[in-house]
């Protein structure tokens, strides 16, 4: 009797593991630079299908850089956000569509009030499909803005390594709401996004599902 119970429990456990594993295996990642990572993390983390968003650094030559090193401009890193998402609920092209509406694609010298290389907009891709989707999204953004593709300053680069930012940068918009909201307003981010994209700006556009 005991053996039968144990066998039944084992079968149930294997069944549960089997049902969980495919969902875990199906997650994908996107690494995106769009100026201040506090803002981009906050813009993307609550989208339906996004599992989590983490601020960090990518694109540079120094291993495990600090915020001070990156912001000084000597490491060639950009502030980025790594987004883990369920492609069954939100596709990579859809995520890129949201990304474009949260950046100024015409500004390659930084983003909004933040200037310098660490704030440049970049789409970091992994694999041929992400590269193909990123290039297609650039063309679509240019067409939507009524600009030639050559006017778009967002770069597309292969992802080499993502380095998580310090803990105090994570969930900054939630943990420091007053400071974050003042910074975002003073930086003119939303004013410029509205100027560029109109009602399609940001992640709260009517077409975008939020959780």
Output the pTM of the full model: 0.86
Q: Examine residue 143 and state whether it is found in any structural domain, yes or no.
A: yes
Instruction: Give residue 14's pLDDT band: very low, low, confident or very high (50, 70, 90).
Output: very low
Span 111-122, pLDDT tens digits: 999 999 999 999
Answer with the residue of higher pLDDT: 13 or 202: 202
Instruction: Give residue 174's pLDDT band: very low, low, confident or very high (50, 70, 90).
Output: very high
Give the Cα separation of 64 and 114 in Å (integer). 22
For residue 79, the enclosing domain spans 24-157+171-200
- Residue 203: its pLDDT value, please? 80
CATH number at residue 97: 3.30.1060.10
Q: Examine residue 165 and state whether it is found in any structural domain, yes or no.
A: no
Q: How many domains does the chain have?
A: 1
Q: Examine residue 129 and state whether it is found in any structural domain, yes or no.
A: yes
What ranges in the chain are assigned the alpha helix state H?
A: 2-25, 37-44, 67-71, 92-100, 127-145, 172-175, 177-187, 189-197
- Residue 11: its pLDDT value, please? 52
Q: Examine residue 8 and state whether it is found in any structural domain, yes or no.
A: no
Mean pLDDT of the chain: 90
How many CB atoms are closer than 10 A to CB 2? 6
- Under 8 Å between Cβ of 172 and 9: no
Give the Cα separation of 172 and 176 in Å (integer). 6
Q: Examine residue 4 and state whether it is found in any structural domain, yes or no.
A: no
**C-alpha to C-alpha distances, 109 to 56, 66, 80, 113, 114, nearest whole angstrom:** 19, 21, 15, 10, 9
Residue 151 neighbours by CB under 8 Å, 6+ apart: 106, 142, 145
Instruction: Give residue 2's pLDDT band: very low, low, confident or very high (50, 70, 90).
Output: low
Question: Which listed residue (36, 39, 113, 187) is catalytic?
Answer: 36
Q: Examine residue 205 and state whether it is found in any structural domain, yes or no.
A: no
- Residue 17: its pLDDT value, please? 47
Q: What percent of the chain has pLDDT over 90?
A: 82
Q: Examine residue 17 and state whether it is found in any structural domain, yes or no.
A: no
Whether the pLDDT of residue 23 is over 70: the answer is no
- Under 8 Å between Cβ of 100 and 208: no
Is there a catalytic annotation at residue 39?
no
Strands 110-111 and 114-115 turn out to be antiparallel
Give the Cα separation of 185 and 44 in Å (integer). 18
- Residue 20: its pLDDT value, please? 44
First to last CA, the chain: 47
Instruction: Give residue 3's pLDDT band: very low, low, confident or very high (50, 70, 90).
Output: low
Q: Examine residue 180 and state whether it is found in any structural domain, yes or no.
A: yes
Whether the pLDDT of residue 133 is over 80: the answer is yes
Span 191-209, pLDDT tens digits: 999 999 999 999 866 556 6
């Amino acid at each position: 009797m005991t053996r039968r119970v144990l066998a039944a429990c084992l079968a149930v456990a294997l069944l549960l593991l089997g049902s969980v594993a495919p969902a875990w295996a199906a997650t994908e990642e996107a690494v995106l630079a769009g100026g201040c990572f506090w803002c981009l993390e906050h813009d993307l983390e609550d989208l339906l299908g996004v599992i989590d968003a983490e601020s960090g650094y990518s694109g540079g030559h120094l291993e495990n850089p600090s915020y001070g090193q990156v912001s000084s401009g000597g490491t060639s890193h950009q502030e980025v956000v790594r987004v883990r998402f369920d492609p069954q609920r939100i596709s990579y092209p859809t995520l890129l569509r949201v990304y474009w509406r949260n950046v100024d694609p015409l500004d390659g010298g930084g983003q909004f009030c933040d200037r310098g290389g660490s704030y440049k907009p970049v789409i970091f891709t992994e694999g041929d499909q992400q590269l193909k989707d990123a290039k297609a999204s650039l063309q679509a953004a240019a067409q939507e803005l009524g600009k030639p593709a050559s006017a778009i300053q967002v770069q597309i680069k292969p992802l080499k390594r993502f380095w998580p930012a310090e803990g105090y940068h994570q969930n900054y918009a939630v943990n420091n709401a007053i400071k974050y909201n003042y910074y975002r307003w003073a930086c003119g981010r939303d004013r410029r996004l509205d100027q560029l994209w109109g009602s399609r700006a940001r992640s709260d556009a009517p077409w975008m599902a939020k959780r």
